[in-house]
Amino acid sequence: MYRYLFLFIFVTSLAAAQKPDSLKTVTHERDSVRYTNLKLRMSKTKFSKAVYRLLFRDVYNKGKVTEVKTIETNPFTPYEGMVIRNIVIRQLNMLGESVYDTTRKGNQLERFFSKNLHTNTREGVIRKSFLLFSEGDDIRAQVLKDNERLLRSNRLITDARIIVVPREDVTWMADVIVLIQDAWSLNFSGGFSSFNKFNVGLNNINTRGTTHSQLTAIRWDGKDTLDSKFQFRTIYTIPYIGKTFITGQARFIQERDVKERTIRFFRPFLTNETKYAGAAEAGYFRQRQFKRNVLDAEELIPTFQTSYYYYDMWLGRAFKFPFKNTILSENSRLVTAIRHNNYNYGQRPKVSADTNKIYWDKSAILFSLGYSNRNYKRDVLIYGFGRTEDVPVGSLFSLTVGKENTEYGQRGYAGLQYAIGKYLPHNLGYMYLLLNTGSYSQGGDAQQGVVSGQMNYISNLIPFRYSFFRQFVTIKYAQGIDRDPLDYLNISRDQGIRGIYSDQLIGTKKLTIGTETVFFSDKSLLGFRIAYFMFADLGLVNGLGKLRDSPLYQGYGLGLRLRNENLTFNTLQLQIGYYPNIPGNTSTFRYGAAGNVPLRLRDFDISAPSIVPFQ
């Protein structure tokens, strides 16, 4: 898709990315003077003024975004109990405006593209499907705060803000203003080698302002040897059907290695006030795959097909704690859930009572009981490039038990999950910890068990000249218990060493450490913010022996990321990596340009009872 990126950049133009509050006033003053002088010099002619507006954003002359950094208090608390008289929906232009500076209007080019090339989300849809409150309701501070967060978390929306305006004539009533800035809805992708091999795709995430999303992509390869010259996929999504907050999705994929027809409806525990959550899905899935035998990493298993029909459903109920006016009653919940699924294979490798258990025909019922404490703090420049980010703070503990009926008998399952995340004292950053363990059991023996853990550390924003940088550290450990030879861990890509793939980096036990330093530049080119990064990834995987006997696989690199928060396609990432000892790697250096999906921090909501993943 990035072959057409710069053409698309010019069409979509300039979204003003705001810089967060500087930790040193002098930095803002020096930078403001620098860009003000540049602006004055380039304002002498119409042409140079147009060039300045095209290339630079006045991010230092727009005031400070103090609201984003005020993360400790709920801004709606002073209005608790007031009655909502009117709800005003104000939709900002997609480009040039900001929910934290409503005086910004953008330049003529930004206003033209916002008005003529984009259809804002319909006001009726926002009122009907996206708001947790209505006119005549009493203001509940936590509900408004949660609603603001939910709006921002939706990929249709770049940023959102809710403002309460008390009425002067009736002191116990207030108006609520909802500011919403849409994201760009049309995203194109494509690639062309020749008229005999090309692909093209269109993803409209907000069809005619209805919030419906449709992705359609086709691929043609006239030389394909597996009678899959024409490949096609379409995915249609309806978020928040009516006032139910249920999302519906249908997927139809007919590609060389994947065929899928599925339909799904789901509703998560959106907030602490959500009582019921659940999902139901059914469909058909077929995949072509090849694997290595984990008992002999050199043995390549011939390509084989797996296909199955399935259905999967679950329902959960959250209960408040009975202790009123305490932290437990506000942010903590007890959650119970039940899940049932069924998988019937049509194509699969050879199975028996003690091999390839992951391909057994099976039907399971699972129960879970969990504790969840959820809260959020607002921050910026973590995984985003200037938008408001809601950082989850809290903890969860969940116990899952159940049984599975298979073609080789019945077996039980038990699993535990614990997670905690919080800002560390003395401005030392954010820490997240996840621990998982679970296993099937049959005849007193453990089967397909997992013990895993993960730690994420994110430093505070560290000032550097005119901008900031952050340090990220991720540590992952996983160990399998009685896994099948075709069921193993791989420490390539996002499972360990990024930017590389090797089907020989496999085993049933792994330990990986990844560190990344990200510098968020103060520059903005064509509305795209720039971030430079350096990374180092180290990994151990046991292969045929013990973990301590594994070579220390390594990857080092640097690169840059470009992102416009008003656009929804992936961040463009340019990267060079050095991989000194990856097996099967033909070169120690790798160059790449790819889409980097913006990440999100893990939340502390409890959803479906689930099997601990082996990854």
pLDDT score for 21: 38
pLDDT score for 39: 55
* Most confident among 154-163, 321-330, 341-350, 517-526 (mean pLDDT): 341-350
With cut-offs at 50, 70 and 90, classify the pLDDT of residue 156.
Answer: confident
Q: What is the pTM of this model?
A: 0.80
- Over the stretch 300-356, which tens digit does the pLDDT of each residue have? 777 889 999 999 999 999 998 877 766 676 789 999 999 999 999 999 999 998 889
Whether residue 66 has pLDDT greater than 50: no
Map residue 171 onto helix, strand or coil: coil
Q: What is the mean pLDDT of residues 157-165?
A: 90
pLDDT score for 457: 97
pLDDT score for 68: 44
- Contact by Cβ (8 Å): 607, 268: yes
- Contact by Cβ (8 Å): 580, 572: no
- Whole-number percent of the chain with pLDDT over 90: 49
Whether residue 299 has pLDDT greater than 60: yes
pLDDT score for 323: 74
Q: What is the mean pLDDT of residues 379-400?
A: 88
**Higher-confidence residue: 476 or 467?**
476
Considering the chain, what is the average pLDDT of its residues?
84
Q: Where are the beta strands (DSSP E) in 424-570?
A: 430-442, 445-458, 462-464, 467-481, 489-490, 506-507, 509-525, 528-541, 553-563
Count Cβ atoms below 10 Å from residue 341 Cβ, excluding itself: 18
Domains of the chain (ranges; CATH) run 257-596 (2.40.160)
Torsion sign (Cα): 427, 428, 429, 431: negative
- Over the stretch 200-232, which tens digit does the pLDDT of each residue have? 999 898 888 899 999 999 999 888 777 778 999
Whether residue 26 has pLDDT greater than 90: no
pLDDT score for 345: 97
Whether residue 89 has pLDDT greater than 90: yes
Whether residue 31 has pLDDT greater than 50: no
- Contact by Cβ (8 Å): 215, 203: yes
Work out the angle at residue 371's Cα, subtended by the Cα atoms of residues 365 and 375, and round it to the nearest 5 degrees: 130
Q: What is the mean pLDDT of residues 96-106?
A: 72
DSSP readout, 4-55?
GHHHHHHHH----PPPPPPSSHHHHHHHHHHHHHHHHHTTSSHHHHHHHHHH
Whether residue 493 has pLDDT greater than 60: yes
CA-only gyration radius of the chain, Å: 26
What's the length of the chain? 615
Give the number of C-alpha atoms closer than 13 A to the C-alpha of residue 52, restricted to the C-beta side.
Answer: 17
How far apart are the C-alpha atoms of 73 and 83, rounded to whole Å? 21
How far apart are the C-alpha atoms of 37 and 46, rounded to whole Å? 17
Q: What is the mean pLDDT of residues 238-244?
A: 87
Whether residue 100 has pLDDT greater than 90: no
Among the ranges given (190-194, 205-209, 598-602), the one the predictor scored with the smallest mean pLDDT:
598-602
With cut-offs at 50, 70 and 90, classify the pLDDT of residue 63.
Answer: very low
How far apart are the C-alpha atoms of 17 and 156, rounded to whole Å? 17
Whether residue 572 has pLDDT greater than 90: no
**Higher-confidence residue: 143 or 65?**
143
Provide φ and ψ at 385, rounded to 5°.
-120, 35
| Tokens 């301590």, residue located | 548
pLDDT score for 37: 56
Among the ranges given (55-69, 137-151, 519-533), the one the predictor scored with the smallest mean pLDDT:
55-69
pLDDT score for 415: 97
Whole-angstrom distance between the N-terminal and C-terminal Cα of the chain?
29
Whether residue 611 has pLDDT greater than 90: yes
**Higher-confidence residue: 291 or 337?**
337
pLDDT score for 455: 97
pLDDT score for 10: 33
Query: Alpha carbon 437 to chain centroid distance?
Result: 24
Maximum distance among all Cα pairs of the chain, rounded to whole angstroms: 84
Among the ranges given (48-57, 122-131, 137-146, 187-196), the one the predictor scored with the smallest mean pLDDT:
48-57
